Amino acid sequence: MTNSPAGRSRAAAPARRETFSSRKLFILSAIGSAVGLGNIWRFPYIAYENGGGAFLIPYLVALLCAGIPLLFLDYSIGHRFRGSAPLSYRRLHRAAEPIGWWQVLICFVIAIYYAAIIAWAAMYTWFSVTKAWGDDAEGFFFGDFLQTADTAGVSFDFVSKVFFPMLAVWIVVIVIMVAGVNKGISRANAVFLPLLVVMFVVLVVQSLFLDGAMVGLNAFFTPDWTALQNPSVWAAAFGHIFFSLSVAFGIMVTYSSYLKRKTDLTGSGLVVAFANSGFELLAGIGVFAALGFMSVASGVAVDEVASGGIGLAFVAFPTIVSEAPFGAVLGVLFFGSLVFAGLTSLVSILEVIVAAFQDKLGWSRKGATLVVTIPIAVISLILFPTTTGIQLLDTSDAFVNQFGILACALVAIIVISAGLGSLPRLQKHLNVTSTLKVGTVWRILVGGVVPVVLGYLLINELQSKSSEQYSDYPAWFNGVFGWGMAGALIVGALLLSLIPWSEKSKLKDPEYEAFNAAAHAEGDVDNNLKEVNS
Amino acid sequence: MTPVAITMMIIAVLTIGGGFSLALWNLARHPEEDEQLPEDLPQEL
């Protein structure tokens, strides 16, 4: 028994919770988490499709009215209750623990497919040098590279060109995770994030010098003011900000739990939020400058070449790389940026899961990391480097985003605000250490505006996904890996929260007890204390 | 680029860049305090 991770941690003195050694490293890690693949391949197309330059208005409104307030909410929960998502929610209220586990399971689903996209990008960084796709980028991606099956399903025909890069991604990420918060996550972000910014700035500058760049920027920034009268444009802005900032699925709760007691939460949050938006804007400029070149080179309008997501990254961009002067450099910079943006985000997603099991089982960092990440890596390596990997990824991604993250966020906010009435308590906690104080407006935004918007988005998604088969995949496929998976996350969360916290767990942590006492001395009052004790 | 597109680009860069600069400036004005760890607190707390 003593050889088990649990045994080792029991024999040693109680380990103190790791903290980011500086505020700067926390901010870098939080930006690294927020800046992900979506900033590069989602924002430019969403902005273009929803009013171009006019999209700036709903985007900023969404940032200020939903994104930043929700970021502050996550920070306040993680920092006040100093635990992983399940432990923090449990400490907030016993009945809220399933929300934390729901977030952990959402991160599990995202982690298993996110590694596949990073592996594709890594391979395309190399392919850019040789322009391996020739004249047919689409045929190469779906055919030669992924060897996509004709019908969606679960195949175990492995594609070695995807399997081995994915294995490499998992090894790199597991090494980072085992090293812990300071030696692993902080250092990885301190290296990868500056590298990503430098690479992306060079990419944008190179794109701006391409013929037709101004045509692309013109299309991107020309405002369509009539779009502002369309509710779906506003919904797109709120939806995008919500997904872009990595809020409400455990990441920011977990990261902020590693902050020192006296930390400027709101001041740090503002830097993270605006850095994330700045990167998105930069991505929009770079991507549309390149698309402008493609439009001019192929003699078609920008709206015919504009795309987002996988289509932009693995079909449109390789075409640009083939035709642009110094295209190989452009390709290496673009796909290299995707790799670094993806790695920093994947690390943060995995941290939600590792921290949850570390807290629940009271295991050492190394033990918990290996026990959690290796099975995740194995599942990921069984399901995604196959001929049906992209279809599985497509359905999982669409359903976990809408009926995982969005639904969980809505439930969490309703429980925290209307259910437990905890917003005044969390507001007080934010104001104890932060430079920018939050007041009634913050409570109205979080408890009133955000649930209304999230509810609207969720109902829209329920209607669209139930009225037609997603991506024309078979009903059983969407049923199992879409609806079934989303439902299983809720059932799994309830079951995990029924497992009792053992004596070894972090639920009764002397370090937290001292922190809690200090918080109470500063005026914190648990408004649900009677209910919990009864 | 048309004047209106240039104007929107400048507004976007200034708004988001300005927000980022202000947030950084605010943070720089309030440097990190020395850590006050729970175990450093008086026992009665």
Question: Which pLDDT score, from 0 to 100, does residue A307 have?
Answer: 82
User: What is the arithmetic mean of pLDDT over A421-437?
Assistant: 93
Identify from B16, B32, B41 which residue to disrupt to test chain A contact, counting A C-beta atoms within 10 A and taking the largest count: B16
Phi and psi at A386, nearest 5°, equal -120, 175
pLDDT in tens, A147-190: 999 989 899 999 999 999 999 999 999 999 999 998 999 999 99
Find the farthest-apart pair of alpha carbons in chain B and give their distance in angstroms, rounded: 68
User: What is the arithmetic mean of pLDDT over A472-497?
Assistant: 95
> Crossing angle, helix A450-467 and helix A231-244, to 10 degrees?
100
Is the model more confident about A506 or about A3? Answer: A506
ipTM: 0.88
Asked if A88 contacts A8 with a C-beta cutoff of 8 angstroms, the reply is: no
Residue with tokens 């929803």: A50
Encoded tokens for A219:
């299309």
Q: Which of A264, A268, A281 sits opposite B12 (nearest CB)?
A: A281
Question: Which pLDDT score, from 0 to 100, does residue A304 have?
Answer: 87
| CATH code at position A191 | 1.10.4160
Q: What is the CA radius of gyration of chain B?
A: 21
DSSP 8-state class, residue A324: S
In A, which residues are within 8 Å of B40 by CB distance?
Answer: none
Residue A84 inside a domain? The answer is yes
Encoded tokens for A131:
């322009």
Question: Which pLDDT score, from 0 to 100, does residue B35 have?
Answer: 54
Q: Where are the alpha helices (DSSP H) in A324-422?
A: 327-361, 365-383, 389-400, 407-414
Residue A22 inside a domain? The answer is no
Q: Three-class SS of residue A158?
A: strand
Question: Which pLDDT score, from 0 to 100, does residue A306 have?
Answer: 84
pLDDT in tens, A388-406: 999 999 999 989 988 899 8
Instruction: Tell me the shortest Cα–Cα distance from B14 to chain A, in angstroms.
Output: 10
- Asked if residue B40 has pLDDT above 60, the reply is no
Taking alpha carbons only, the member of A85, A79, A112, A111 closest to residue A98 is: A85
What's the mean per-residue pLDDT of chain A? 91
Q: Does the distance separating the beta carbons of A267 and B27 come in below 8 Å?
A: yes
pLDDT in tens, A327-356: 999 999 999 999 999 999 999 999 999 999
Taking alpha carbons only, the member of A35, A70, A60 closest to residue A247 is: A70
Q: Which of A22, A511, A517 sits opposite B32 (nearest CB)?
A: A22
Using alpha carbons, list the distances in angstroms from residue A128 to A125, A146, A330.
5, 16, 8
**How many inter-chain contacts (A to B, CB under 8 Å) are there?**
102
**Domain tally for chain A?**
1
Q: Does the distance separating the beta carbons of B2 and A218 come in below 8 Å?
A: yes
Q: Does the distance separating the beta carbons of B38 and A511 come in below 8 Å?
A: yes
Q: A157 exposed, middle or buried (CB, 10 Å; 0-12, 13-18, 19+)?
A: exposed
Question: Which pLDDT score, from 0 to 100, does residue B34 have?
Answer: 60
Residue A449 inside a domain? The answer is yes
Asked if A221 contacts B6 with a C-beta cutoff of 8 angstroms, the reply is: yes
Is the model more confident about A195 or about B45? Answer: A195
Residue A521 inside a domain? The answer is no
Residue A81 inside a domain? The answer is yes
Residue A530 inside a domain? The answer is no
Residue A71 inside a domain? The answer is yes
- Asked if residue A43 has pLDDT above 50, the reply is yes
Amino acid making up residue A307: S
Q: Which of B17, B30, B45 sits opposite A278 (nearest CB)?
A: B17
Encoded tokens for A270:
């503002």
Residue A444 inside a domain? The answer is yes
Question: Which pLDDT score, from 0 to 100, does residue A496 have?
Answer: 96
- Asked if residue A207 has pLDDT above 90, the reply is yes
Domain of A165? 29-502
Question: Which pLDDT score, from 0 to 100, does residue A14 have?
Answer: 57
